[in-house]
Amino acid sequence: MNRNALILVFAGLVIGLLSCKKGNGDVLAAIQTTNLNVVNAGADTLNFYEDGTRVNNGSNLIPDGSLGYTTVISGAQSYQFKKAGSPNALVDVPLTLDVSRLYSIFIAGETADKVFFTRDTLVSDTGARVRFVNASPITGTLDVTIGNTFNYKKLAFKSATGFIHVNSGKNTLTIYQSGSATPLASGTLTLSGSTSYTLFTRGQLNGTGNSAFAARILTVR
């Protein structure tokens, strides 16, 4: 039985016991959950844990990969990242998450200061909706344009825009280091209507392999 199924079964058992009071009159409370997406913006293949229990049971979390919104227990919890095959926590991050919300957590390196999270607000739109997340631990800020409706400047590491309307179909993407006329990344995005995306940067300007600067896009919903 996978982890999400165990959470649901345990929650059902607790709810079934709500009518049973302890001898001192206390009533058991139901487990409350929320939704967390995990994005690997670093160079390592990872596994993700909630209070010591592995969340990504089916496969490892590869660089540029994500889990999609996954059910986790809300409130104050401790989340760990471990390199695939290692028993030792690479990073241990405490988070307090509200009930029945959408969050994303990004890991961009091997230390706690390279981990951050966003609270996600999805909006229905017949066009596409894109947010940009700067997950590149580089010096300076980034300027980003997508098509003719998305234009943000001086976005620092760990910053994120909201989900912004962008026309569906092909859109030109350009990312600059603020103050530079030479693009760090450019290309064409083909976006579907009624779909939300996260565009994120990762890596270092002088990096190589999985540590090289790059832009990636994920379908959110």
Tens of pLDDT, residue by residue over 9-23, are 444 544 444 444 445
pLDDT-derived band at 99, boundaries 50, 70, 90: very high
Phi, psi (rounded to 5 degrees) for 8: -65, -40
Phi, psi at 39, each rounded to 5°: -120, 125
Helix, strand, or coil (residue 124): coil
| pLDDT score recorded for residue 143 | 98
pLDDT at 161: 97
CA 204 and chain centroid, separation: 19
- On the question of a common fold for 32-120 and 123-221, the answer reads yes
**DSSP-derived secondary structure for 56-113:** --SS-B-TT-B--SEEEE-EEEEEEEEETT--S-SEEEEEEE-TT-EEEEEE-SSSGG
Q: What is the pTM of this model?
A: 0.86
C-alpha span between 27 and 23 (Å, rounded): 10
Domain boundaries defined on the chain: 32-120, 123-221
pLDDT tens digit sequence for 136-170? 999 899 999 999 999 999 999 999 999 999 999 99
Fold exhibited by the domain 123-221: Immunoglobulin-like (2.60.40)
Neighbours of 69 (CB within 10 A): 18
Cα 76 to Cα 79: distance, rounded to the nearest angstrom: 10
Report how far Cα 208 is from the mean position of its chain's Cα atoms: 23
- What dotted CATH number matches 32-120? 2.60.40
